[in-house]
Structure 1
Amino acid sequence: MRVMVMVKATEDSEEGIMPSTDLFEAMGKFNEELANAGIMLSGDGLKPSKLGKRVAFDGASRRVIDGPFAETRELVAGYWIWEVKDMAEAVEWVKRCPNPMPGPSEIEIRPFYEMADFAEIASPEGQASHDRAGEKVAARDGKAG
């Protein structure tokens, strides 16, 4: 099962305050553990929302919203994508993670949809489009074949 593990933003991360050397090293070691265990597929930190944009949709209308965005606790400051056997394994790994922020913080774990979840609504054409897109991404990333 694939999950996205999201480090929730804090006032410090939204201010662009960089982690301490000790925290940077501790997170590096944790990432090595994840990689060595075959859990971590990818992961990165995100710059503050003041550098981001949102696109709001309403029918055919599109509106660009410049950051920063309100509700800091609802923002994501970083993420991993993991391959785990189940949610319990993901929780156990998160509990081993160093606190990713200088003060109180939260990490959210969310499972990805898999194509099987769309079996009732997927037309053959829709399935083929998704398959082709996945093949192109895998080929680009050197994972084909």
Structure 2
Amino acid sequence: MRALVFSLLVFVLFIGAPVAANEREITLYQNTNFKSSFLDIRGAEVQTCYNLLCKGFENVASSADWSGWPEKASGHAGPPFLVFFTKKNCKGSYRGYSTYGESFPSDFAAVGLSDKIVSLIVYDKNFIDIDKTITFCEDTELTTVTVSNASSF
């Protein structure tokens, strides 16, 4: 009986958990038109500021795309917004994009952000609060970042 209860608990916690959080992904590219990806954030969390301070991360992005985001945000009428910033801690000049659909920035130079992006955030409930800040390393090189324990919608 104990084994059955344990098996059911494992199923509910792991198999039955929503998969959407793990599907949320943001990819940054070194070149325009989505060429030469250099950072892939899988399981990205909302209201979390990501500082891109690893060697080779800051001031490199020329285009970006994303997938797995819901059509509607939890805290406002529209979809979540992915916002790119020129300074750490999600400050400085910025440009935001709806996460729903496929209107990806293929050339950040068109909006004055090419090779200037240092941080990013996906706003879900509002455009002010930052619940958490994650700073990627300052002296190592990464190509894929998987955010564990990502919140789900």
- Where on the TM-score scale, by shorter chain, does this alignment land: which range? under 0.3
Give the structure with the larger strand fraction: 2
Give the structure with the larger helix fraction: 1
TM superposition score normalised by structure 1: 0.23
The answer to which structure, 1 or 2, has the higher relative contact order (CA under 8 A, 6+ apart) is: 1
Q: Of the two, which has the highest radius of gyration? A: 1
